[in-house]
Amino acid sequence: MDFDLSIINSHNPYNIDVEKFIEQFYGFIQLNHLYDSAIRQVETKLEIIDNEFQSTFQRNPIHNVQSRLKSPQSIAQKLQNKGIPITANAIIEHLHDIAGVRVICHYIDDIYAVAHYLSLHDDITLLNRKDYIKHPKPNGYRSLHLIITVPVYLSTGKKIVPVEIQIRTIAMDFWASLEHQLHYKSDNEVSDELAQQLKVCAETINDTDLKMQSIYHRLNKMD
């Protein structure tokens, strides 16, 4: 698509640098495609891991996979909070969570197995790992967070793209989703008492996770 800059400039009361604006606009479109492609790469790797488990062990460790691209509003807000100009180059350089993949597993052991098998891919580089299962957040949140990079092959060459991966059990995801709704979707502030109750719920859910895993191990004589 070609823009008639003369028409745009004639309706530009704020004296915006139109050529620069259009350049940034195209840059953001290209970034969206880049990060979406990185998500597809990770999803394919996860599907292969899950299918191999099915053929080898006759079960699937992954319940489902969800993905998202951070919204332009969230990106802009995050850069503003860091005091960084809102440009395509700044996004690539400073933000590692534009592309996000959430992996929901059946058991806690599955979380670490999926993370391990992902790490064996020689085209994946681990940038950061935060284990909120062994070390839960103060509010009770549990999940394994990974920041990895994957290659995306474009017509212009190979691009190395970061992707944030959150791996958790069905129970952990249940708690995290409801806790998020209560904190961010409600007009009422969550009191300290209710926050403590939410933490107790998280601990109860973790106990249930451990019991379900123990039952699975006993049924399959894995102890």
Which residues are identified as catalytic? 164
Task: Classify strands 99-105 and 157-169 as parallel, antiparallel or unpaired.
Answer: parallel
Element (H, E) at 100: strand 99-105
Position 150, amino acid: V
Q: Which residues contact 50 (CB under 8 A, 6 or more apart)?
A: 60, 61, 62
Q: Tokens representing 205?
A: 């859910």
Alpha-carbon separation of residue 196 from 131, 140, 190, 200, 201 (angstroms): 22, 9, 10, 6, 9
Q: How big is the CA angle at 176 (ends 116 and 133), to the nearest 5 degrees?
A: 35
Helix (H) or strand (E) holding 166: strand 157-169
Tally of helices (H runs) and strands (E runs) in the chain: 7, 5
Tokens, residue 4: 């008639």
